[in-house]
Structures are given as structure tokens and as C-alpha cells.
Structure 1
Amino acid sequence: MREFELFRDGMGGTVRIAAIPSAAAVLLPLLVREANERYPGIRIEIMDSLAQVALAGLLNGDVDIAITTSSNLPDSVLYTELLEDRFAVIHCSDHPFTTQKQVTWAELARESLVMFDGNSSIRTLTDAALTEIGASADITAEASSIPVIAGFVSAGIGVAAVPGLVTPLMMAPGIHSTPLGTPAVVRHVGIAQILGRSESPACTQIVALLREITTTNTAHPIQD
């Protein structure tokens, strides 16, 4: 009876979340910490994956919600934006970009680039920005992992364009970050849920808490 009451009141149960790696690493630790304090009876299960895998898990019913980008979502998905993820360039601390307040995409295109591979939502936006200015990329290395990209940059192999949510995961001695602009490129990150799918009270609590901690802890949250 006690377990049922906790479930009914949104204080107990399991919530399964799929999230793109940057959100899983930056947002979800804050979410789990706060949820453990407020709702100790709720268990949160996390699957970190690329955007298309997170979406597939949501559509298949393997997870309750997905934290993903706004791109290529079907009509059956309700998307609630959490933040606008603005791009920066990471580079060695002795690179000339260190002295600039901002780097343009045209300046970036003249550099040797370390790129996320073609399965990444980050790569899609990077390619689109370079195409918009009529530039092609001089790619010296590609990888799917955030630490691997950071390792290539740290070794001086090239510079990398990354969203702001990713930047803290790449900061290490010898690496510097400079904002990217002109054109302004933003990755939209939010909560995806299935329209009409029954949602547990615990899931409702966690979604509300996720919106709260995102507003409090990120640089570019969406304001109602």
C-alpha cells in the first residue's frame, strides 16, 4: 500500500531517460542529485546515446522521455525546449584565437578542423554553417567521442566547433574556448515525449524538475 501511495503521489516509481551525451553528462547529474533530495522514492534510469538512438528508444517505448535536439522529430512527439546551445571553438591556449573575443565561421574555416563524425547532431549543424558561408572544411581528424575530440585539440591537431553544453566537458590544461559567431549557430535541446502516451506521476515530477534545474543552471535557458 505504501508503494502505491508513493507512486500515486509522484514520489515513487522509475523514470527512464534517454539523453544525448552532453546533456547526460551536464544536465542529468544535476537532475539526479536534486531528485534524490526531493523524491528519494523515484529511481532514474539513464541511457546516453546519439540523438537518433534516443529518439528510437522513445518511439519504441524503451524510455519515458528523451533529452535530445529539435531536429527531425516526427509529429507523434511533443517537444519542449530547454535551452539554446550556442557554439564555441575549442583550441590550444597558444592559438591566436585566444586573444579574440569572438571567432567567425569564416575564420574557423581557414583552420585545420577536428570534427564530430557524420552521425552526430553537432556535425550536421557544423556542416550547415560552413555551407551557409560557402566554405569547405579542412578536416584533419573525426571522432564520435567528446574526450577524443578534446584529445586531438589538446595535441594541436586542429580546432573544433562545439556547442556550449559540450564545452565544459572538454576543458583541460592547455585548451581554451572562444565563442563562435557570424553566422550565429544554435543547437536547440529539449525534452521529447510521445503525444497521448500515459505518463506516470513520477515522470511528470521529473520533467518539471528538469525544466527547473535547466532554468537555474544553464547559460541560455528558454524563458516562458
Structure 2
Amino acid sequence: MSINFDLNDLKAFRAVVEQGSFRRAAEAIRITQSALSRRIEKLESALGVKLLERTTRKVALSNVGRAFLPQVERLLDDLDLALLSVGDGGALRTGTLTIACVPSAAYYFMPHAIRAFHGQYPNVRISLLDASANEVSAAVASGEADFGVSFTGNLAPEIEFSPLLEERYVIACRQDHPLARQAEVTWAEAYRHDYISLGKASGNRLVLDRALAGMVVQKQSICEAQHVTTLLGLIEAGLGIAAVPSIAMPLGTHPILAQVALVEPQVTRQMGVLKRRGRTLTPAALEFERLIRLLPGTLPGH
């Protein structure tokens, strides 16, 4: 067989699979849609097979394409790693790195990793998708994100979870709040104060409801929000306290916010890195993962 295609054709094929359409794939690899179509046609012609089934509504892999995809991904990922081992690795790391992250980790935790990464690899642009746990999982599964940072839950079968840290829930309050002077507080005591709760659509709310199923709370929350980051803004405004994961709190001293350990019971969640099974991370993604794995040691209580 005469191999009449190149790496750009393979990248075009992978982009179409990841993006689910020719239009989005063309935008992702920055070529015209007609040029992308020619690359796919060239690849299919060289192989003598149909890799993609195209209809007016969607693009899907053929049976042959489904078997061919893992080999293409492995080849392209191995090439990235090989290029990294020669010459100036930093200079080779260009383009965009897309990371999906739950808002509680995106607010204070992730900026430290982005700052460290940008200092070493200024030519790589970071695209941060701050979204719910379900949306983070979906972004990684579809290939929209290179990897994700989220907590354990109902993950798709094609998602691999790698633990990053186990963190506890704490009370977030203003520094002038009476609880701020305490080393720890029980859940029952915390709920006697004005507090803000998370909505039922929140993944954190599910974790807390399961952990506190036997607790009877007499006082209702004064306000409900969907995201931990919103809770922190409401707390800063003086609307009460809230139970939040410790990763959502600022590192070091904050001019307004304080955190207090929650006990009886101590509730934790496991944060980790989400990857698509069978897919090797790009060199840039591998380096970013290394940086975020260094951060937990700087978190209070870890």
C-alpha cells in the first residue's frame, strides 16, 4: 500500500472525532472546513476505507474508524513525547491547553498552578472551563478538555480518575464573625448561625446530604446558591456562613475570609484528575498535571 497521507491528515481525523463536527474541528485546528474535508478524504483514499459516517446532522466513526482511532491517538501522543525529549522542550510547548475544573477548585487553587505554568511556558495559552462536576466529566470524555480536575462521583465509563487530594469541608466566615475565633465547630453548632446553603443541583450538596443524612437541622438557610464561589461572595458581603470544601478557600491570609474546621462528623471529599481512558496526555498537559500535584502540600490541613 502506498501511504499517501501525513500527520496533518491524522490530526484532522482526531479533531473531527473529538469535536463531533467538521465545522468545530476546522475551528479547533485553525483551517477552513473545505481544507479539513480534503484532509479526511485524502486519508480515507490512502487507506482505502471509510473512517467516518457523515449525515446532515452528525459525524460518527465507522467500525473501521473506531478501531483506527486508538492507534492514531497513540501515534500522535508518542510523537509529542518524542519531540519533547529533543532540543528545547519549553520552546516546543505552544498552542492551547484546555482544562475543565469545578468552580470550587478554580477560584483559589487553580490560579496558583496557572501562574507557575505560565512562568515556565509562556507560549502555551490556558483555556479554563469552570463547570459543574458532570460538565467537567463530559468535557473530558468528549475531548473538549485535555483533562479535568473534579471530585469523585458518577463518572462516565471512559473516564479515569486519579486521586489528587482528600480534603475536608470547613466553615467559611468573615474574620469578624464569632466562629472565626474558634479552632473547630460542630455541624450542629454551625447551623445555629445564619448560613447559606448550596442548591440541590450542586455536586457538593450531594456529598453533604449523604454525609449528614441523620442530622436534623431546625434552622433553614437564609439563601441558596449553586456554586461555592457564589457562597464566598455572599459571605464576604456579611450574609452568614457556609460549609465549603477547603480547596475553595484562599491560600494564606485573606483580608476578609476565615475558615474553621468542621467536626462531628468530619466530612471529606476526594479531588482528582480526570482523564479519558486510553489517551496519553500531551507534554503540556503532563507538565500542568505535575504542577497541580505539587500544590496540595501548600494547602492548610494537607
**TM-aligned CA distance change 1:50 to 1:38, over 3 Å:** same
Deviation at 1:167, TM superposition (A): 2.4
Deviation at 1:131, TM superposition (A): 1.5
**TM-aligned CA distance change 1:176 to 1:36, over 3 Å:** closer
Distance 1:158 1:205 in 2: 39
Paired position in structure 2 for 1:30? 112
Alignment of 1:138-177 (within 5 A): 138-146=220-228, 148-154=230-236, 156-168=238-250, 172-173=255-256, 175-177=257-259
Residue 125 of structure 2 aligns to a residue whose secondary structure is strand
Does the aligned pair in 1 maintain the 2:141–2:156 contact within 8 Å? Answer: no
Paired position in structure 2 for 1:81? 163
Paired position in structure 1 for 2:134? 52
2:282 maps to 1:200: yes
Residue 139 of structure 1 aligns to a residue whose secondary structure is coil
2:90 maps to 1:8: no
Per-residue Cα deviation, 1:77-117 (whole angstroms, up to 9, x for no partner) = 22112222211112344544234321111222333321122
2:179 maps to 1:104: no
Deviation at 1:220, TM superposition (A): 4.7
**TM-aligned CA distance change 1:167 to 1:205, over 3 Å:** closer
Please, what TM-score do these two structures have when normalized by structure 2? 0.62
Paired position in structure 1 for 2:121? 39
Distance 1:152 1:31 in 2: 26
Amino acid at match of 2:265: P
Does the aligned pair in 1 maintain the 2:152–2:272 contact within 8 Å? Answer: yes
Does the aligned pair in 2 maintain the 1:81–1:189 contact within 8 Å? Answer: yes
Deviation at 1:146, TM superposition (A): 4.2
Aligned pair partner of 2:300 in 204, 219, 222: 219
Deviation at 1:145, TM superposition (A): 4.2
Bigger helix fraction? 2
Does the aligned pair in 2 maintain the 1:7–1:202 contact within 8 Å? Answer: no
Distance 1:130 1:159 in 2: 17
Deviation at 1:136, TM superposition (A): 6.2
**TM-aligned CA distance change 1:7 to 1:154, over 3 Å:** same
Distance 2:226 2:187 in 1: 22
Number of residue-to-residue matches in the alignment: 216
Per-residue Cα deviation, 1:21-49 (whole angstroms, up to 9, x for no partner) = 12222232222222223233433221111
**TM-aligned CA distance change 1:159 to 1:60, over 3 Å:** same
Does the aligned pair in 1 maintain the 2:108–2:249 contact within 8 Å? Answer: no
Distance 2:244 2:188 in 1: 16
**TM-aligned CA distance change 1:127 to 1:39, over 3 Å:** same
Could you say which structure has the greater relative contact order, defined with CA pairs below 8 angstroms and 6 or more residues apart?
Answer: 1
Gaps in structure 1 of 5+ consecutive residues = none
Distance 1:32 1:5 in 2: 21
Residue 168 of structure 1 aligns to a residue whose secondary structure is coil
Deviation at 1:128, TM superposition (A): 2.5
**TM-aligned CA distance change 1:5 to 1:196, over 3 Å:** closer
Residue 212 of structure 2 aligns to a residue whose secondary structure is helix
Distance 1:5 1:165 in 2: 32
**TM-aligned CA distance change 1:96 to 1:25, over 3 Å:** closer
Percentage identity across aligned positions? 30
Larger Rg: 2
Deviation at 1:123, TM superposition (A): 1.6
Deviation at 1:76, TM superposition (A): 2.2
Residue 247 of structure 2 aligns to a residue whose secondary structure is coil
CA RMSD of aligned residues (A): 2.8
**TM-aligned CA distance change 1:120 to 1:5, over 3 Å:** closer
